[in-house]
Amino acid sequence: MKIGAVTRAPQSAPGTALAWAGEVIAAERRALQAFEAVLPPSLTDAVVAIAGQASPLTCLGMGKSGLIAAKIAATFSSLGTPAFALNAGEAAHGDLGAVQDGNVVLLFSNSGTTDEIARILPLLKARACVLIGVVGRPDSPLGRAVDILIPAITAGEADHIGMAPTCSTTLQLAIGDALAVAVSRSRGFTRADFLRHHPAGLLGRQSIPLRTLMRTGDELPKVGPEAPVADLLAAMSAGRMGAACVVDAEQRLLGLVVDGDVRRHFQSRRDVYDTPAAALMQPHPQVIDVAATLGDALLLLREREGGFLVLPVVDDEGRLHGMLHAKDMMNG
């Protein structure tokens, strides 16, 4: 072979790669199902220990298990439990100073014989740390050393040579997520708390108050209940929202008229110019509270069958404060 020549993998039969991928997914699914079928009571002990401490949780591992530890630390932090990841190799070279006396330490290891972890176990015990082990071999040195053992046993790995961490790391990930969510729920962590932890990106945008997005003043299309269709159409055209609110003298929302309501009225061949807005309006439109956020509006959009084009914004007494157009939510 010439130096620098590109080698190509042998061509597989059609569908073989898909079958191989499916085998991996099936193997990892079986590992999760086996664990779910017999959930260990130690999960409860782990949740109580983590939820009961004020100090940040230490998530510790090595190699692929170290990567899982890092992800789980991030999940705990996102869900209201401060946590940080500690690489077992680096811990023996000074990073162990981040672990204080009495801290809870969540360790991940499939073999339970990882040298880097075994090296620092005596130091963690000397600091009276509460050790929780997600361990693939319960009878291993690490399995016997921890205070709370969560057996993460798998029948084997999913790769074709049975050596690459696949089923084992998938199960570790699921157990870590389960602990993070259970602790978060036990602490009463809310959706609003979650959004405060994520100020950037789409998640952060969901905490934007609707007051800053809704149309108000001259941009808010509205008419009284006796307004003729000509005035109604003028308001709808000026507002460029394809809709107009119908309000009383106290600005309480009486109903909503959308383009479709007007078209249906025209099709009925009535004298539209003598028809008041109240005769065309939807008397009980979907509304949202003026104190709501963009996240609340997006949730309502997902839950409402067929969605909505516009959303009147009202207070507790039903007074109209503004109206939100679907595109306002996308541009917020």
- Would you kindly state where each structural domain of the chain is located, as residue ranges? 26-189, 210-331
- Please give the structure tokens belonging to residue 107: 């360790």
Q: What is the pLDDT of residue 201?
A: 47
Taking 50 as the threshold, does the pLDDT of residue 9 lie above it? Answer: no
Q: Is 303 helix (H, G, I), strand (E, B) or coil?
A: helix
Question: Residue 170 in contact with residue 144, Cβ under 8 Å?
Answer: no
CB count within 10 Å of CB 15 equals: 9
At residue 77, the 3 state secondary structure works out as helix
Please, which contacts does 30-37 make with residues 24 or more away whose CB atoms are closer than 8 Å? 30/155, 30/167, 31/154, 31/155, 31/167, 31/168, 31/170, 31/171, 32/170, 32/171, 32/174, 34/153, 34/154, 34/155, 35/152, 35/153, 35/171, 35/174, 35/175
Confidence of residue 1 (pLDDT cuts 50, 70, 90): very low
Decide if pLDDT at 11 tops 70.
no
Kindly report, residue by residue over 243-301, the tens digit of the pLDDT.
999 999 999 999 999 888 887 877 765 566 678 888 888 888 888 898 887 777 877 77
Structure tokens at 307: 């969605």
Q: What is the pLDDT of residues 185-211, one digit of tens each?
A: 999 887 766 666 555 444 455 656 777
The strand ranges marked E within 88-174 are 104-109, 130-135, 148-151
Asked if 203 and 79 count as a contact pair (C-beta separation under 8 A), the reply is no
Residues 6 or more apart in contact with residue 194 via CB below 8 angstroms: 78, 79, 80, 203
Q: Looking at domain 26-189, which CATH architecture does it have?
A: 3-Layer(aba) Sandwich (3.40)
CATH architecture, domain defined by 210-331 = Roll (3.10)
Provide mean pLDDT across the span 28-36.
96
Are 26-189 and 210-331 equal in CATH topology? Answer: no
- Which residues lie below 8 Å from residue 53, measured CB to CB, with a gap of 6+? 102, 103, 104, 130
To the nearest whole number, what is the mean pLDDT of the chain? 85
Given CA atoms 146, 152, 155, 161 in this order, what sign does their dihedral have? negative
Q: Does residue 330 register a pLDDT over 70?
A: no
**pLDDT tens digit string along 102-134?**
999 999 999 999 888 988 899 999 999 999 999
* Nearby residues of 67 by Cβ (< 8 Å), 6 or more positions away: 61, 169
Q: Give mean pLDDT, residues 152-158.
A: 95
